[in-house]
Amino acid sequence: MKKKVSLKDEIIAYALVALGSLLFAVGDVMFVNPYHLAPGGVYGLANVFNALFGWKISVAGICMDIPLLIIGTIILGPRFGIKTIISVILIPIFTYILETTWGYAPVIHDGLYDTAEGLNSHISYIVGTGDNAIERFFIPDFFLNTVVAGLIYGVAIGIIFRAGATSGGSDIISMIIHKYTKISLGVLVLIVDSCISLTTLIIGDIRLPIYSIILIYIESKIIDLVVEGVTTYKTVFIITDRIDEVKNYILNDLKRGGTCFPGIGLYQGHERKMIYVTLDRGDLVKLKANMRHLDPAAFVNVIESSEIMGFGFKALPEEN
């Protein structure tokens, strides 16, 4: 049965969509665009069009996003909710406001100049529009700017995801290809975004796709951090002949549950018991510190768990 969402939760969700959309626009206009980076997605491609043809990022972005949403809805069905549509609309609005007020000037740089004379490494940007447009130059700090841009992008998209929305864009392309090829969605997203990043080679600087891909990596890690939180869990498989000692320690000292499986060794064919348990980092440290005392001959396999749902951990998702 679908749980009714309170008005307060809905207001918070829409506020998060607005905040994430604003942060995304800030990251794109103030950090990504001045360095001619293209970290995947529709707005990565819009940045390339801006550098090559001078098109506004907001206009190019929404001109690609809206058709993609329509095509995605036709092919994939009505899976894009109202929050995603609002995000797709808010991002170009915020981007347009920043483009017309802030412009494309960088926040991070090693100096602003009115001429490129005497500069060995520089990037230009335009101040003003029409007859009042002036070309200015700056000495770039690619690494620091990439790190900060990745942090802002990651927080922005993570907030949008937590609100139950997406930013649309190239993810829709990946979903459509996935429907017909059954290739992993994660692999497709990486391929599509990497291809968009490689379009920066047209601008003529080999550093641009490299820094764009680094930005994508940082962004993905921050998204996971925002969506999943800082708590990490480990899945532990323990094969032991002292099943009672290990079981009692997990139940009574760690206050955790688990599952016990019978198993047969491949080499000697002896039957042994195996315990499956999921622990946070602190409990894992305690278990490892006591395993030699509990069973010096135990075999312990620790696996990284990206997400744990169910009793005692994160709640199962609500029905959509």
- Report the C-alpha gap between 12 and 316 in whole angstroms: 20
Per-residue pLDDT at 307 exceeds 50:
yes
193 and 45 assigned to the same domain: yes
With respect to residue 319, please indicate whether it lies within any of the assigned structural domains: no
Domain assignment present for residue 51? The answer is yes
Same domain, 67 and 203: yes
Q: H or E segment at 264?
A: strand 259-264
| pLDDT mean across residues, the chain | 86
Distance CA(246)–CA(115), nearest Å, equals: 72
Burial class of residue 45, CB neighbours in 10 A (0-12, 13-18, 19+)? buried
The yes-or-no verdict on residue 1 having pLDDT over 60 is no
Give yes or no: residues 255 and 222 share one domain. Answer: no
Give the integer Cα–Cα distance in Å for 46 and 65.
11
Is the domain of 196 the same as that of 159?
A: yes
Give pLDDT, residue 50. Answer: 92
**Are 13 and 154 in a shared domain?**
yes
Helix 41-53 vs helix 57-76: angle between axes, to the nearest 10 degrees? 140
* pLDDT at 320 (0 to 100): 47
Binning the chain into helix, strand and coil, the percentages to the nearest 5 are: 60, 15, 30
The CATH number of residue 281's host domain is: 3.30.70.120
Q: What is the pLDDT of residue 188?
A: 80
Place of tokens 């692999």: 187
Same domain flag for 204 and 270 = no
**Residue 230 and residue 267 in contact, taking contact as beta carbons nearer than 8 Å:** no
Residues 202 and 290 grouped into a single domain: no
pTM of the shown model: 0.78
Which residue among 207, 228, 249 closes a domain?
A: 228
Q: Domain for residue 2, yes or no?
A: no
Mean pLDDT along residues 180-205: 82
Average pLDDT over residues 151-171: 85
| DSSP-assigned letter for residue 225 | H
Q: Around 296, how many Cα atoms within 13 Å sit in the side-chain half-sphere?
A: 1
For the cut 60, the answer to whether the pLDDT of residue 10 exceeds it is yes
Number of folded domains in the chain? 2
Same domain, 223 and 247: no
HSE of 138 in the Cβ direction (CA atoms, 13 Å)?
A: 19
Pick 204 or 142 by higher pLDDT: 142
pLDDT (0 to 100) of residue 72? 84
The contacts of residue 185 (CB under 8 Å, 6+ apart) are 174, 175, 178
pLDDT classification of 79: cutoffs 50, 70, 90: low
Check pLDDT > 70 for residue 305. Answer: yes
Cα separation, 168 vs 88, whole angstroms: 7
What domain range includes position 253? 233-305
Would you say residue 312 has pLDDT above 90? no
Q: What percent of the chain has pLDDT over 70?
A: 93
Please report which confidence band the pLDDT of residue 180 belongs to, taking 50, 70 and 90 as the band edges. Answer: confident
Between 189 and 148, where is the model more confident? 148
What 8-state DSSP symbol labels residue 314? B
- 2 pLDDT band (50/70/90 cuts)? very low
Residue 237 within any structural domain of the chain: yes
